[in-house]
Chain A
Amino acid sequence: MSAHPPDSDEALAGRLRTELPRYAAPAHVRVALVEGTLPRARPAWLAPVLASAATVLVLGLVFLSLVPRIVPADPVERLVRSVVAEHTRALMWGARHPEVVPTALPWLTQESGIGLRRVFVGDDRLGFVGAEPVYLEGHRGIALHYRDGDGHLLTYIVLPIAGLPVPDRRRVQIEQGTNRWRPALMHDSGFSAWVWRQGDLACFLVSDMVSEVDVERFKDYFVRVRVSTDPVPAY
């Protein structure tokens, strides 16, 4: 006979202790916890090796930032890269000081040091967009922007660099009527650039026309600009 009434707190507590089934943790839970949480002994050599690898990685990253940017050794390639950068800037953001020649010619000449005795102001194929002075590779110069009917932007840049060594192996023969030219066709960052000398000036015509068909059209644009433009040093 129980010492407590069957309905008492003590009796109820006793029933809870004795009558309720107890659930033991399944083996897979125990194994998962033991294997997954108890740390395994690490090889003694692991810590110094990891520390060394981390140090080398950090030092590598530090020195990487000190390595100078790789720039082309060839002066023409370096100039082409700068000209292309100027073209892409105009392509992305437009001209900084778009001016419509000839009204702005005196100002452009004063700012760029380049005079234009004649200038190509566009035709049925190429529309004139604007003109602005530029400063590339330590040289003041002038940039004229055009756009063709398909939306290709062309940038014509003149820099006062005498004796530019135009690479012979890149030269392309262009003939139209009685005119014959041999500018070099160079490429950089997915853009094409005609490079030629005109007196004591270096001239560039940049566009994104790179395919064979486009290059033929690019030749035509070169002729149009080349025939109609006569840049000279202003001073």
Chain B
Amino acid sequence: MASDDFHRAALEHLDALYNFAMYLTRNPPEADDLVQETYLRAFRFSHRFQPGTHLRAWLFQILRNTFLTFYRLRERESALAEDGVPTWDVPMFHDAPEESSGAVEAHTDLERALRRLPEEFRTVLLLAEVEGMALEDVARVLACPVGTVKSRIFRAKERLRGLLRDYTKE
């Protein structure tokens, strides 16, 4: 794929990537940086992209890896469970109160509940349900087997339902 064509094709996914970045960072300036860093990396390593595979999944994978590298790993100190998902009681970066300046306020219980999910759960729901990505592509983004994706979606929905029930009781 020619360089110009690749750039244009990649930029078609800008809105979807930005939306994903917003749900990961909850912060517009950080989402701006994350998306721009994602594109910089994608263009720099465009020769590694295999034509014929899903450019969209490849871009989401870069964005998530960038997020994990620069935004989350620095704050994550807890151990992960066997499937790479932290246990319920482990305090996580994404469970922290939304005290950071510039953070976008959640308007609905659903959004608030989604934000309280661990990143691994939030990501599978955003990719599979919100973006409508195929399970194989989600597995590629998360670098895990499809079975693990299915398991995480199931557990993510379980936890999301629990949080929504709590909000209803309140």
Contact = CB atoms under 8 A, between A and B. Distances in A.
Contacts of A16: 110, 114, 125, 129-130
Tell me what chain B mostly uses at the interface: helix, strand, loop, or mixed: helix
Contacts of B23: 23
Contacts of A25: 14-15, 17-18, 35
B87 interface: no
A17 B130 contact: yes
Chain A interface residue number, banded: 20 to 34
Interface in A1-33: 7, 9, 12-13, 15-17, 19-26, 28-30, 32-33
Interface residues of B, number: 33
A21 B114 CA distance: 12
Contacts of B7: 37-39
B169 interface: no
A18 to B, nearest CB: 10
Contacts of A13: 129, 157
Interface stretch (B36-44, B50-58, B91-99, B140-148): B36-44
Interface of B: 3-4, 7-8, 11, 14-15, 17-19, 22-23, 28, 31-32, 35-36, 39-40, 43, 107-108, 110-111, 114, 125, 129-130, 132, 154, 157, 160-161
Given A16-B125, A26-B18, A30-B14, 17 more contacts: A12-B160, A13-B157, A16-B129, A17-B129, A17-B130, A17-B132, A19-B108, A20-B110, A20-B114, A23-B22, A23-B31, A24-B18, A25-B18, A29-B32, A34-B11, A37-B7, A38-B7
Interface of A: 7, 9, 12-13, 15-17, 19-26, 28-30, 32-34, 37-39
Closest 9 CB pairs of A and B: A25-B18, A23-B22, A16-B129, A13-B129, A23-B19, A25-B14, A24-B15, A22-B19, A19-B110
